[in-house]
Amino acid sequence: MPKPEIHSQASVSLEAKLGAGVSVGAFAVIGPHVSLGDGCIVHSHAVINGPSKFGANNIFHSFSAVGGDPQDLTFHGERTELVVGEGNTFRECVTVSRGTKKGGAVTKIGNDNLFMAYTHIGHDTVIGSHNIFANAATLAGHVTIEDHVTVGALSPVHQFCRVGRYAYIGACTVITQDVPPFSRVVTERETKSFGINSIGLERKGFSEERRQTLQRAFRLLLRSKLNTSQALARIREQFAASADVIELVQFIETAERGIVK
């Protein structure tokens, strides 16, 4: 069995247990009472604290902080744990907290989950397997995530909420109640366009004439009673001499996901 490979500039506690083939990069820190299963990879600058136990083939990217003290004012140094299965990936700046005594003293994570950059997993959370947490997904304490769930970027889940199997939470959606299995949940989109970026364009050297021409084109696009195709035809007709307007029209005509209006 291959021995662990530990960079000379890594800090690994003598009380840590490393399985066969574990790799630890430069400036990584592995604290006491940490157990890493076979084949785990700890990239440079990652920090793993305990008590925590990890199965095989977990990957910890740079600046992830896994197994830290719970962010709970009632925590006063009691022994609590983090228990993680196999094949999970913790990307850059992910944070995972151990449990608290009042919450059962353990945070649990299953197998084959992807935690994208800046994801936070709060204390006493229970996570199943095969889930995807997009960038900056945030789980408060005592959350339950079942299997095959997607939590979109920048989406917070309130404490004690449950998310059922195969649910999909769209980006920037605030979850304050349980999400049923098999469902799709997303915050209503209210994003609107209010015309040209007048101050920004002026600062970038656009003349008053260029700005006014663009503003008139946007007025046709946004405030007329024409649909988008009709508005574009009218804009082409009226402002064909403006390279800025032609760029605008071509951009809209090639949009595959529609445009913000």
The residues annotated as belonging to the active site are 123-124, 141
- HEC per residue, 8-54: CCCEECCCCEECCCCEECCCCEECCCEEECCCCEECCCCEECCCEEE
Q: Closest Cα partner for 196 from 188, 206, 181?
A: 206
- Rounded distance, CA 39 to CA 31, Å? 18
For residues 70 and 123, the answer to whether their CB atoms sit within 8 Å is yes
Q: Closest Cα partner for 168 from 152, 157, 155?
A: 152
Helix (H) or strand (E) holding 83: strand 81-84
Q: Which residues, listed in sequence order, are joined to residue 108 by a DSSP beta bridge?
A: 83, 126
Q: SS3 helix, strand, coil % of the chain, rounded to 5?
A: 20, 25, 60
Helix (H) or strand (E) holding 84: strand 81-84
Encoded amino acid at 205, one letter: G
- Rounded distance, CA 195 to CA 130, Å? 43
Distances (CA, A) of 24 to 7, 50, 224, 255: 6, 16, 61, 45
